[in-house]
Amino acid sequence: MNLMLEVKNLKTGFDIEGEIYHAVDDVSFSVKKRQIVGVVGESGCGKSVMSLSIMQLLPKGIGQITGGEIKFRGENIEGHTNDEMNKIRGKEISMIFQEPMTSLNPVFTIGFQIVEILLNHSNITKPEARNKAIELLKNVGIPRPEKIVDEYPHQLSGGMRQRVMIAISIACQPKLLIADEPTTALDVTVQAQILELLKSIQKKNDMSVLLITHDLGVVAEMCDEVIIMYAGKIVEKTSVDNLFYNPQHPYTKLLMASIPRIDVEVNELTTIQGIVPSLKNMPKSGCRFVERCPSAKPECSTVTPLLANVGYEHEVSCLLYEGCYPREGMR
């Protein structure tokens, strides 16, 4: 049982004025045991919606999974009831959000919020849970945990709050951690601390991590494999080394070239023309990157490319590659 998470043909749609628009469209990938998989993309590419779909935390009545499978340790959890999901969320799969300021409840103490999840998922008494909470706070590098446990979120700095979030998310030793931009709201020196912490916990707990980020530096440092998303679809899936040394999709190449780098001096940055199409204006067929793509061919706007292997563990979805043409009968 090497696969921790397997997502197959996942489609998540949003109901806008009676019509369903897909923010995540036919996405398949897997996360192996002890692996850190990065999901990279610009805002609106569907990376957060995808993680909320896995957790089944989509806003009710607006967002819904319209197709596909989500397998966690071999079991399909798509379609689980809320009660069933509650047993998994926090215990087996847990999540860290971007905003440490808004994801903690301001009216409860730090201790209460950690104890809550411990009592929910394991058979221990309150005093035991409190001791465990203090220990968890110590493990995530919070000074004076005996005091902090009785403090409120507003008394802590952003970095400290993110540490508390991590303490909550690892309280039940989950098998899979979904971290949605865990360091985006933090300063670089604090970001370095938090990434280091996440890495050491991942090693210690044998955890798999799905790390959602837009920072390619964070990806290079943390991940084993990377998924590049654009407008709800996966455009490239490969190892970290391939991503940086052998990117194949035109979007990936441009993305890599458009970031200013501290170690390389350039006069003018590469830019990607135009902007990401909005959900409503998404092209119905063809490649979604076609309008901004410098290597677009005429058929790119009519033929939807498949995600196909172009090398060892390297998948790309682009018509520049023969294998990405849909097979006859599927067009």
Partner 1 sequence: MNDTTIKYEKENLLEVKNLKTYYPIKGGFLRKTVGHVKAVDNVSFSIKNGETLGLVGESGCGKSTTGRTILRLLDSTEGQILFKGQDITKLQGKSLREIRKDIQMIFQDPYASLNPMQMVGSVVSEPIMNFQKKSLASLKNEVIELLRKVGLPEDAYYKYAHEFSGGQRQRIGIARALALRPKLIVADEPVSALDVSVQSQVLNLLKELQDEFNLTFLFIAHDLSVVKHMSDRIAVMYLGNIVEIAEKESIYEEPKHPYTQALISAIPIPDPRKKSNRIILKGDVPSPANPPQGCPFHPRCPQAMAECSLSKPLLKEVKSGHRVACHLY
Contact set with partner 1 (CB under 8 A):
42-43, 143, 157-160, 187-193, 195-196, 214-221, 240-241, 243-245, 254-256, 258-263, 266, 268-272, 275-276
Nearer to partner 1, 74 or 294 (CB): 294
In 3D, which of 223, 240, 289, 232 has the Cα closest to residue 47?
Answer: 232
**Count of Cβ atoms closer than 10 Å to residue 146 Cβ:** 10
C-alpha–C-alpha distance, residues 84 and 100, integer Å: 27
The dihedral region occupied by 34, where left means phi > 0, alpha psi between -120 and 50, and beta the remainder, is: left
Q: How far is the CB of 27 from partner 1 (least distance, A)?
A: 20
Q: How far is the CB of 102 from partner 1 (least distance, A)?
A: 16
Q: How far is the CB of 190 from partner 1 (least distance, A)?
A: 7
* Extended strands (E) in the chain: 3-16, 19-32, 36-40, 63-72, 75-76, 93-96, 176-180, 208-213, 225-230, 233-239, 308-311, 314-316
Q: How far is the CB of 105 from partner 1 (least distance, A)?
A: 22
* Beta-strand pair 225-230/3-16: unpaired
Phi, psi angle pair for 12, to nearest 5°:
-125, 130
C-alpha–C-alpha distance, residues 255 and 270, integer Å: 8
End-to-end CA distance of the chain: 36
Nearer to partner 1, 52 or 194 (CB): 194
C-alpha–C-alpha distance, residues 203 and 125, integer Å: 29
CA 283 to chain centre: 25
Q: How far is the CB of 322 from partner 1 (least distance, A)?
A: 28
Nearer to partner 1, 245 or 329 (CB): 245
Nearer to partner 1, 119 or 197 (CB): 197
Nearer to partner 1, 42 or 116 (CB): 42
Nearer to partner 1, 16 or 259 (CB): 259
Q: How far is the CB of 70 from partner 1 (least distance, A)?
A: 27
Nearer to partner 1, 129 or 272 (CB): 272
Residues 6+ apart with CB under 8 A from 176: 4, 5, 31, 72, 92, 93, 94, 207, 208, 209, 210
Q: How far is the CB of 194 from partner 1 (least distance, A)?
A: 10
